[in-house]
């Protein structure tokens, strides 16, 4: 298939907010039937809905209940009788994740809310192979086109396009289109979790183009709506990164009224910062897929034109409407590529702010650790001083304690002789001998002899005194 070509149909003039909520502001529709459909779109809890386009008129019901055979038969006969140019079915596209209690890996799958009999009937009535539509619910990032031929194997019978875009935020989108080359009728299935938004976008597109029901015009509308949501999400992320720059104090768009004070790491919402970074990566992936998808759709559109004309044609031979679509796809691809480059810059800014926050927090932790280390050092110094003092006290105690103890013991009078006061009995001390003699009971006659001897010997030798003193105990009674 051929690659990119040039093209540019102006996009639908009105773009709506991509949410369905009580605060949703519905755009003004042109016809009363659209206003009635709008009520179903906003408030209807529908299980299956459809819109039809015939002769620039829209009809449909987005709150169908096809549980029994009679209602399904009535629905099918109504579509056959009106023979609309386009029939678009809207089916809920729900993503579910079943967790397991034993810690094993859970089960992720897509499902629809239609009951099984209605689902089987719809596939059979619209001649859709079940495996084909299952790809709308079970495949991610998938797109494909294929052609069915008549019995001769040469004449193309129908053209099929499958598209499953990866999720962006909470938006899920899947798309199937079948175009009948003989009748020029289109059957479309739009599956997603925001069916109201899809339906409103398609209604606006079909109303703006005044009944032109080109299949790739419908494809362009669905793709543009998905990109609109991505671009809105990109703006939200850009704003979030600017807020991160103001919190960390680092960034080109940071200040209003001067340089702020030092950032306070305790005010950083790191979980939110990491969420912004992760969401930014998802947006980059989804927009990158959009670029590849638009390139593929340009090639698929050229294939569709060749099949319709039953010959291979170049850009000059294209019908006017197809030229517009080629230009529209090409222009949109250039726009998406620019947004992709912008998103990559935003991602770098977000990562820089995460690094800045980590750096500031690490600096704060390092300062706290340094303060703790300084306190520990001071405690260690004081402890060392106390230890030195205790060693000094212990040394002095070991030196002076024995003499102090001895002095204390001898000062208690433990060795005092009764009646002698505090004098000690020391050998060779004459004064103490005199006192001892006073305290020893001696017979009167012996006392006289001793005194006589003392008078005769006025300067006795040491040996004599010792001998005399040694004899004193022998004269004790």
Q: How many CB atoms lie within 10 A of CB 248?
A: 24
By 3-state DSSP, what share of the chain in percent is helix, strand and coil, each rounded to 5?
Answer: 55, 15, 30
pLDDT per residue of the chain (477 residues) written in tens, 0 to 9: 333 333 333 333 322 322 222 222 223 323 333 344 333 333 333 345 666 666 555 666 655 666 677 777 877 777 777 777 778 777 765 555 555 555 555 554 555 556 667 777 777 777 776 666 666 555 556 777 878 888 887 888 888 888 877 665 556 667 888 888 888 888 888 777 666 677 777 776 666 654 456 888 888 877 777 777 788 888 888 888 887 877 777 766 555 556 666 777 777 777 777 777 777 788 888 888 888 888 888 888 988 988 888 888 777 778 888 888 888 888 888 888 888 888 888 878 888 888 888 888 888 888 888 888 888 888 888 887 777 777 777 777 776 667 666 666 666 665 555 555 544 454 554 555 555 455 555 455 555 555 555 555 555 544 444 444 444 444 444
**Domain shared by 168 and 231, yes or no:** no
**Domain shared by 197 and 335, yes or no:** no
Q: How many CB atoms lie within 10 A of CB 246?
A: 17
**Domain shared by 303 and 357, yes or no:** yes
Residue 466 within a domain: yes
Residue 419 within a domain: no
Residue 102 within a domain: no
What are the structure tokens assigned to 357, written together?
């926050």
**Domain shared by 348 and 219, yes or no:** yes
Residue 376 within a domain: no
pLDDT at 232: 80
Residue 393 within a domain: no
Nearest to 465 by CA among 422, 436, 424: 436
**Domain shared by 134 and 208, yes or no:** yes
Residue 390 within a domain: no
Find how far residue 135's CA is from the centre of its chain.
Answer: 30
Q: How many CB atoms lie within 10 A of CB 95?
A: 13
What are the structure tokens assigned to 258, written together?
């001067």
Among 344, 365, 386, the domain boundary falls at 365
Give the span between the Cα atoms of 454 and 460, in whole angstroms.
9
**Domain shared by 298 and 435, yes or no:** no
**Domain shared by 190 and 232, yes or no:** no
pLDDT at 355: 82
- Residue 181, domain CATH: 3.30.460
Length of the chain as a residue count:
477
DSSP 318: S
Residue 144's alpha-carbon distances to 136, 183, 300, in angstroms, are 11, 23, 9
DSSP per-residue codes, 24-83? --PPPPSSHHHHHHHHHHHH---SEEEEEEETTEEEEEEEE---SHHHHHHHHHHHHHH-
**Domain shared by 246 and 359, yes or no:** yes
**Domain shared by 243 and 340, yes or no:** yes
- Give yes or no for a contact between 211 and 320, defined as CB atoms under 8 angstroms apart: no
Please identify which residue in the block is written with the tokens 């020029």.
184
**Domain shared by 161 and 253, yes or no:** no
All residues at 6 or more sequence positions from 330 whose CB lies less than 8 Å from its CB, including other chains: 4, 5, 6, 7, 8, 298
pLDDT at 47: 44
**Domain shared by 295 and 439, yes or no:** no
Please identify which residue in the block is written with the tokens 């209003």.
256
pLDDT at 390: 77
Beta bridge partners of 190: 90, 175
Give the span between the Cα atoms of 279 and 235, in whole angstroms.
12
Give, in degrees to the nearest 5, the angle at Cα 445 between 440 and 447: 40
Residue 118 within a domain: yes
Whole-structure pTM value: 0.59
Phi, psi of 120 (to 5 degrees): -65, -40
What are the structure tokens assigned to 438, written together?
């006073």
Residue 398 within a domain: no
pLDDT at 80: 75
Give the span between the Cα atoms of 275 and 468, in whole angstroms.
114
**Domain shared by 202 and 314, yes or no:** no
Number of domains in the chain: 3
* Domain interval for residue 170: 19-97+110-213
Among 348, 365, 382, the domain boundary falls at 365
């Amino acid at each position: 298939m051929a690659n990119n070509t040039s093209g540019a149909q102006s996009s639908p003039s009105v773009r709506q907010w991509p949410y369905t909520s009580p605060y949703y502001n519905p755009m003004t529709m042109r016809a009363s039937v659209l206003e009635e459909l709008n009520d179903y779109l906003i408030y209807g809890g529908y299980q299956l809905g459809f819109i039809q386009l015939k002769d620039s008129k829209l009809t449909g019901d987005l709150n169908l209940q096809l549980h029994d055979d009679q209602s399904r038969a009535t629905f099918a006969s109504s579509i056959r009788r009106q023979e609309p140019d386009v029939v678009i079915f809207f089916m809920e596209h729900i993503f579910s994740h079943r967790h397991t209690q034993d810690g094993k890996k859970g089960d992720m799958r897509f499902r629809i809310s239609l009951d099984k009999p209605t689902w089987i009937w719809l596939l059979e009535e619209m001649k859709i192979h079940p495996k084909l539509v299952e790809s709308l619910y079970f495949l991610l990032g998938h797109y494909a086109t294929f052609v069915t031929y008549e019995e001769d194997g040469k004449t193309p019978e129908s053209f099929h396009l499958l598209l499953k875009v990866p999720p962006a935020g909470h938006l899920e989108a899947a798309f199937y289109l079948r175009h009948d080359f003989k009748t020029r009728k289109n059957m479309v299935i739009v599956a997603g979790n925001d069916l109201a938004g899809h339906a409103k976008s398609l209604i606006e597109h079909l109303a703006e183009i005044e009944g032109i029901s080109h299949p790739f015009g419908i494809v362009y509308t669905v793709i543009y709506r998905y990109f609109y949501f991505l671009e809105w999400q990109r703006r939200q992320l850009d704003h979030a990164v600017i807020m991160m720059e103001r919190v960390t104090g680092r960034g080109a768009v940071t200040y209003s009224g001067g340089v702020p004070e030092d950032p306070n790491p305790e005010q950083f919402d790191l979980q939110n910062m990491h969420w912004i970074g992760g969401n930014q990566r998802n947006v980059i992936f989804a927009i990158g897929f959009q670029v590849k998808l638009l390139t593929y759709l340009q090639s698929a559109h050229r294939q569709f034109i060749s099949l319709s004309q039953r010959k291979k044609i170049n850009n000059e031979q294209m019908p006017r409407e197809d030229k517009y679509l080629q230009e529209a796809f090409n222009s949109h691809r250039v726009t998406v590529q620019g947004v992709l480059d912008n998103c990559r810059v935003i991602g770098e800014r977000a990562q820089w702010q995460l690094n800045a926050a980590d750096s500031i927090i690490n600096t704060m932790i390092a300062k706290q650790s340094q303060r703790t280390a300084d306190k520990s050092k001071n405690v260690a110094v004081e402890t060392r001083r106390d230890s030195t003092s205790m060693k000094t006290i212990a040394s002095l105690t070991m030196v002076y304690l024995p003499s102090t103890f001895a002095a204390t013991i001898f000062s208690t009078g433990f060795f005092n002789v009764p009646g002698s006061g505090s004098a000690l009995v020391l050998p060779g001390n004459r004064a103490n001998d005199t006192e001892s003699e006073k305290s020893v009971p001696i017979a009167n006659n012996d006392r006289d002899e001793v005194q006589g001897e003392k008078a005769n010997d006025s300067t006795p030798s040491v040996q004599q005194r010792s001998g005399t003193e040694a004899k004193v105990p022998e004269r004790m009674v």
